[in-house]
Chain A
């Protein structure tokens, strides 16, 4: 059979497979309407973050002394602050920081926590004890207090906030990965790989890790919500991302003393945090339902 015939035959098969996947996705979205809407919300926020410089009507740092503390209007949908900066533009730009800090912090937690959990669960013994006792010690501190102490030691700033939030959440991923590794290493395919002489490192990365990805993805989605809240909290307290950079938490911080005369300065960035975190939590819940049907409806 010629090569062109094979290609001609495989093209409709590929189109069918793609259509079937689209149908599956559509059916999934129909079954989990709230989850699908939440995913849409998360994607929308990420798009806003990516296109903030294009869609923003004003420069977030531009001060307009002719429009100080103006309420919401057509020209300034979210009003202005006490130096005339447009709150809508600042909230749009703040999206960039929130998404960035959230993603990097979760990335730090995963990059450190998952390999440690994998080693701990797969190797076991003394190594497991050392790693897990360290994680227990980290978990003994409330995450916000730990993040605050780390930022206090490392000094405030965007990079240190990412590190602080990331380290604070690391034990969650390590424990999750350990529990998965403990269960997966008992499977027959792992035993088969061992009997074929496959090295431990290869078994961990080729067999254990891929089979433990689902709960990690779910936790990462939920963890992103926590990271966004933690960054906003640290910035609100004044120990996070420093002015004049616009972040949701820092806009709220500047709005707090103006509450009586200009409620909108504090209201809109808080609403943005609430909507984004709610979307992330709902999306995480829906993902968990899809990836682990045993938990459906719980």
Chain B
């Protein structure tokens, strides 16, 4: 409902958006006919229900700019954004969890402060600036990686991976900060529990205590944050795809914003909401893996 209201209520007359403000003005008879045909004479609740039933059937309308069905345009670009998002996610998990663990183990030492500062710096770094600086260093100065563009991983895995390194790191850096801080906090909570003392008293190796007993139990809040951040990654792709000229959903949405192509904006916003649901579902599934006591009915 929010997606519909955003463009159909706040956005003013959809016909004006379709025809252009001034230039595309039609004769009054033709305008009336078009309004009837598009269902714009119906009351807003009826328009909403029509839009909702179409959306459920996968029909999100047609792009004003290109004439392409919105669902088709989104489906073309979802694999691109998915590959970028997954790279960032894997990169963030690979760095953030060890960083958070390291900070928790070295609590209140200079190592903890350095790791926390690193995590905070990650959160404070504007992704578009970081992307540009990475391009400057690794693509312009050292010429190690391509500065922009996209190659599908299935078409050419090596070139595809090369094209994903810089945007993946850029997109993942903010996530590292958030996840590392959550991991540290959760690990501190768990490390103070009796069963950790028992595990150490049994003479288990510290590595086993930390990974098998502490980390597993500390993962629940971390998984929650990772699930919640899944949709935010999609938000981040709007910027990253622009910086690295990647033809994904984010770039499509931005182009639609400039062109006032409301059906595409609506589709992208709806997709973002679905990504939020997918993130929450993923977190729920992961809970059952990390804590078998939780059974999702």
B-contacting residues of A (Cβ < 8 Å)?
A: 137-146, 148-154, 225, 229, 232-233, 236-239, 249, 252, 255-256, 259-260, 263, 266-267, 269-271, 273-274, 277-278, 281-282, 285, 297-298
Known contacts A145-B253, A252-B129, A270-B132: A281-B239 contact under CB 8 Å: no
Q: How far is the CA of A100 from the CA of B27 in the complex (A)?
A: 45
Query: Closest 10 CB pairs between A and B?
Result: A270-B129, A142-B235, A144-B235, A278-B124, A152-B257, A277-B124, A153-B11, A145-B272, A140-B273, A153-B10
Q: For the complex, is B198 an interface residue (Cβ under 8 Å from A)?
A: no
- Residues of chain A within 8 A (CB-CB) of B132 are 252, 255-256, 259, 266, 270
**Inter-chain contact B232/A142, CB cutoff 8 Å:** yes
Minimum distance in angstroms from A161 CB to a CB of chain B: 13
In the bound complex, do residue A149 and residue B128 qualify as a contact, i.e. CB atoms below 8 Å apart? Answer: no
**Seed contacts A259-B132, A277-B123; 4 additional CB < 8 Å A-B pairs:** A141-B231, A144-B235, A233-B127, A256-B132
- Judge whether A153 and B7 touch: CB under 8 Å: yes
Q: Is the CB of A151 within 8 A of B257?
A: yes
A132: shortest Cβ distance to chain B, in Å?
14
Contact of A140 with B276 at beta-carbon distance under 8 Å, contacts A152-B260, A152-B265, A267-B133 already known: yes
Tell me whether B128 and A252 are in contact (CB under 8 A): yes
How many angstroms from the CA of A150 to the CA of B9 in the assembled complex? Answer: 12
Interface size on B, residues (CB 8 A): 50
Identify which of A225, A236, A297 contacts B107 (C-beta below 8 A): A297
Interface flag for B188 (CB, 8 Å): yes
Q: How far is the CB of A231 from chain B (nearest CB, A)?
A: 11
Identify whether the interface residues of B are mostly helix, strand, loop, or mixed. helix
Distance to closest chain B CB from A199 (angstroms): 34
Residue contact B238 to A278, C-beta cutoff 8 Å:
no
Say how far B7's CB is from chain A's closest CB, in angstroms. Answer: 6
Q: Can you identify 7 A-B contacts, CB atoms within 8 angstroms?
A: A149-B269, A232-B128, A239-B254, A252-B129, A267-B133, A274-B126, A297-B108
B272 x A239 contact (CB < 8 A):
no
In Å, the complex CA distance between A194 and B43 comes to 46
* Docked-complex contact B265 and A270, CB < 8 angstroms: no
Docked pose: A271 CA to B97 CA in angstroms? 27
A278 vs B121: C-alpha distance when bound (angstroms): 6
* Chain A residues near B135 (CB-CB < 8 A): 259
Task: Indicate if the CB atoms of A270 and B124 lie closer than 8 Å.
Answer: no
A149 CB contact (under 8 Å) in B6, B126, B231, B234: B6
Residue of A nearest to B274 (CB): A140
Query: Which of B128, B184, B257, B265 makes the CB contact (< 8 A) with A236?
Result: B128
A232/B126 contact (C-beta < 8 A), A145-B272, A237-B242, A259-B136 known? yes
B6 to A150, Cβ gap below 8 A? yes
Given A142-B276, A145-B234, A150-B6, are A137 and B128 also a contact pair (CB < 8 Å)?
Answer: no
Name the residue of chain A whose CB is nearest to the CB of B112.
A297
Known pairs A233-B239, A270-B133, A297-B108; A154 contacts B10 (CB<8 A)? yes
A145 touching B269, Cβ below 8 Å: yes
